[in-house]
Amino acid sequence: MKWTSSALIGTAALLWSCGGPASPGPAPSPGASSLLVAAPMTVVSGLSSSVGLQGDRSSVKNTVTTYSWTLTKKALATQQLSTTQAKVSFQLTATRSEQSSSSTSAAGTVLSTPADAPLSVCNNFGSEMTLGNDFRVLMHLYGPQGELAVSPVDVTASVSLVGAAVLPGGTCRTWNLTMSSQTYPAFDTADEFMLSFSTSGTSNGNAYATAADSPRIKPTATVRNTTTEVGDRTVNLSDPDMNFFQTIDGSFSQTLSRVLTCADTAQLVVNPAVAYGYTFVNTAYLGGAKTDLSASDTAPLTLKCAQGCTYTQGYYKTHGILFHGMTNKKYDAAAWKAAPLIIGGVSYSQLRLLDIYDLPVQTNQAIALFHQLATALLNLGKDPPADAPNGVRTTIASAQTFFSKNPGWLTTPTAAPSDWITTLDSFNNGKYTQHCD
C-alpha cells in the first residue's frame, strides 16, 4: 500500500488523541488536513462489561381424583335355631369408585443472571466516570427455529440503577437481575433468550461506551405435580344393630350375623301374615366428610315366645273373686291381674266381667265375641302372661274396634264375625301356645 504524507500526519494525530506520546512541532497551516485537529471528545475502551443468563420455565400438572361410594345391604337366608332362636345374616357391601383426570398449566417463566455471572461493569481507568442515561438492558426473544419472535423487551427497569451512576476509577459494579413473565408476559411466548447490555459514560472529557451479550439459553423445564382429591377416600362403615363399626379406605364386603331370641322382640316388627312371625329391619350407614349413605333390608323370622299358658272363660268364671255371689275360695288373683279391662273404650271391672260371663249368647253374637275377647285379654295380662301370635293380636284389635262402633251391643242383638270368635276361642284353648292344665 502506498502511504501519503497527509495520511501519516492524520494517523499521528489520532494516536495523540488516544493518549499516545505527542510530538512537538509548529501549529498546522490553514491548508493542512482536519485530522490534525484534536477532537473535543474521544471514544476509548476503558469500560468493560459482562453478563450471564439462566432461566426456568415451570408448569403445574394437577391430577384430580374423584371418589364416590355405593352401599348395599342384602338379607341372606334366616336360620331357625329353635322355636325361640333365629340367626339372621346380611351381606354388607361398600364399593369405592375412582376417576382421575390431569391437566397441565404454565406457571410462568423466570429469567435471571447467575450468581457467578451477574451484570458487571468495570471502570478500568484511574479517573471517575459516570454511566450515562442511555443505560439499557434488553431481552431478546427467539422462536423455535431460532428466529426473533418479537422485538426485544426492555428490562432496564429490573436493574436498580436510577438515572446516572458514578463509577470510581478501577472499580466494578454488579447487578443481579430477576425477571419473570408476570412482569413481562412476552417471556412465555419465546423458546430461547439472550440478554444484552449497553451503556456509555463520560470522564474527563472522554466518552466511554461498552456492550455485552449473554449466551443464548433455553429455560429449564420444571414440572410441579399436585394432587387434588374430591370426595372421601376413607369412610366409616357402621351397622349398629349388628354391633359393627369399621373405617375403610377401599371397597369392602362382609357377612354380618346375629342370633335373635325372645329377649329381642322389642327390636322386631310383628309380621301379621305369619304365626309368631317377626321382621328384623336392619340399616347400615356409610359416612365421611362428603359421604352420607344408608342401606336397609329386612330378615323374616319366627320366634314362639309364649311365657305362660292360656285359660278358657270357664276358668275365669270359676276362679273370680266371687262365685254365685259369694266369696270364692278358689280366687286366682294372678289370673285376674289384668282386670279391669278396657274394651271398646269402656272400662269393665272384674265383677262386671263376671256378670257378662253369666249372660247366655242366644241370638246376640256380640256377647259370644265379648266372652272370647275378654278371656284373651285376661290371658295376655295374667301372671305369667301368655303370648299371642300376630294373627290373634290382629283379631283382638279388630274386635276392640267392633265394640267401640257398637256401644249398644249388650242390649241390642248384634251380629259379630264368627271367624273372630273362632280365632279367639282357639287361642284361649291353647292352640297357639299351651293350655293351662
CA distances from 275 to 4, 82, 278, 421 (A): 139, 15, 9, 18
Cβ pair 404, 398 in contact under 8 A: no
Q: Do domains 49-57+104-220 and 63-99+231-302 have the same CATH topology?
A: yes
Among 148, 147, 165, which Cα is nearest to 156's? Answer: 165
Q: Could you give the CA distance from residue 197 to residue 136 in angstroms, rounded to a whole number?
A: 6
From first to last of its 437 residues, what are the pLDDT tens digits of the chain? 333 333 222 322 222 223 333 333 333 333 322 222 333 344 455 778 899 999 999 988 999 999 999 999 999 999 999 888 999 999 999 999 999 999 888 779 999 999 999 998 888 877 787 776 678 899 999 999 888 888 899 998 888 765 557 788 888 888 899 999 999 999 998 999 999 988 877 666 666 777 889 999 999 999 889 999 999 999 999 999 999 999 999 999 999 999 998 888 878 888 878 877 899 999 999 999 999 999 999 999 998 765 678 999 999 999 999 988 899 999 999 999 999 999 999 999 999 999 999 999 999 999 999 999 999 999 999 888 888 888 899 999 999 999 999 999 999 999 999 999 999 999 999 888 778 86
Q: What secondary structure letter does DSSP report for 435?
A: B
Three cell numbers, residue 282: 336392619
Instruction: Report helix, strand or coil for 197.
Output: strand
Where do the domains of the chain lie? 5-39, 49-57+104-220, 63-99+231-302, 313-428
- Structural domain 49-57+104-220, CATH architecture: Sandwich (2.60)
Q: Could you give the CA distance from residue 30 to residue 103 in angstroms, rounded to a whole number?
A: 80
Among 316, 337, 339, 320, which Cα is nearest to 329's? Answer: 320
Beta 129-131 vs 79-82: how paired, if at all?
Answer: unpaired
Q: List, in order, residues 6 or more apart from 280 with CB less than 8 Å away.
A: 88, 241, 260, 267, 268, 269, 298, 299, 300, 301
Among 332, 323, 53, which Cα is nearest to 176's? Answer: 53
Location of C-alpha cell 249398644: 408
- Dihedral Cα 184, 188, 192, 195, nearest 10 deg: 10
Instruction: Please tell me the CATH code under which domain 63-99+231-302 is placed.
Output: 2.60.40
Instruction: Note the Cα 72 to chain centre separation in Å.
Output: 21
Among 360, 336, 430, 326, which Cα is nearest to 388's? Answer: 430
Q: Could you give the CA distance from residue 424 to residue 399 in angstroms, rounded to a whole number?
A: 10
Three cell numbers, residue 177: 437481575
